Amino acid sequence: MIDIHCHVLPGVDDGASDLECAVQMLESAAANGIGRIICTPHSAPDMAEKINQAFSKLDPLAVSLGIRIACGVEYSYGHLHGDPKELRSLAGTSFLLLDLGCPELPPTIVELFFSLECSGLQIIIAHPERYLKSLDTCEELSRLGAFFQLNAGSILGEYGKQCRRMAEKMIENGYCHYVASDAHGRNRTFRLRECRQCLAQNFGEEFASQVLGKNQELLLNNQLPITLVPQKANRKFFCFFRKNKPL
Ligand SMILES: [Fe+2]
């Protein structure tokens, strides 16, 4: 599998605290069946050099564990302004990862997306199920050309019932193009294999392999994801998580 959202670079944000922690994360990723990772530290001013240094340290260790890593950034909305050429896309593709972080769309979003699009950039919204409250907002973002990346943890109930329900609704309505880990060090880990199983059981194998593999491959080839609208979820399976994983 390919993970397109992960805070594994050591010492650059609130993810891996140091190289030892980063290596532990990579070992856990390898055990989870992940062969490629796009490292996406949170955006902050003047951090390009710090990211490059952390990447150079981690890259040979990742190779020795059988994982290929590439670089990106998880932008917050305020950090997307400025010269689009200065932005760091996912693995050098034309896709940018954006954490909107609020339930309502900012008033300047149409202009911003338009200017990014004119620069040949596409937006992937990071874990919208964690802060968006309505499918209408997903529809608006989709009309603006955005794609959606859901967190494995949201689908597995890690962030609470509301978030899991939103993830489920987004999946059922075609607003899920990628699933990623958003792993942050030792406590928030990958869980992609577990999530893949859950998705295959609830929404079918085709959907699971699209959002946890095929669309990621398309992204690395700089191609748009395929949108699948799966069948309704098997409620019994979600009930299983409710009973066995109290929130
Ligand atoms: Fe993140």
* 119-176: pLDDT as tens digits: 999 999 999 999 999 999 999 999 999 999 999 999 999 999 999 999 999 999 999 9
* Interval between CA 152 and ligand 1 midpoint (Å): 12
* Interval between CA 114 and ligand 1 midpoint (Å): 24
* Interval between CA 180 and ligand 1 midpoint (Å): 9
Residue 5: name the closest of 103, 145, 151 by CA: 151
* Interval between CA 151 and ligand 1 midpoint (Å): 9
> Is the pLDDT at 245 greater than 50, yes or no?
no
Domains of the chain (ranges; CATH) run 2-244 (3.20.20.140)
Residue 166 vs residues 127, 135, 150, 193: alpha-carbon distances, Å: 11, 9, 10, 21
> 183 - beta bridge partners?
6
* Interval between CA 187 and ligand 1 midpoint (Å): 14
> Is the pLDDT at 241 greater than 60, yes or no?
no
* Interval between CA 171 and ligand 1 midpoint (Å): 20
The secondary structure element, H or E, covering residue 177 is none
> Can you spell out the DSSP letters for 79-95?
GG-S-GGGS--GGGSSE
> Is the pLDDT at 235 greater than 80, yes or no?
no
* Interval between CA 55 and ligand 1 midpoint (Å): 17
Distance CA 29, CA 186 (A): 11
Q: What is the pLDDT of residue 82?
A: 78
Tell me the mean pLDDT in the region 201-226. 96
Q: What is the pLDDT of residue 236?
A: 42
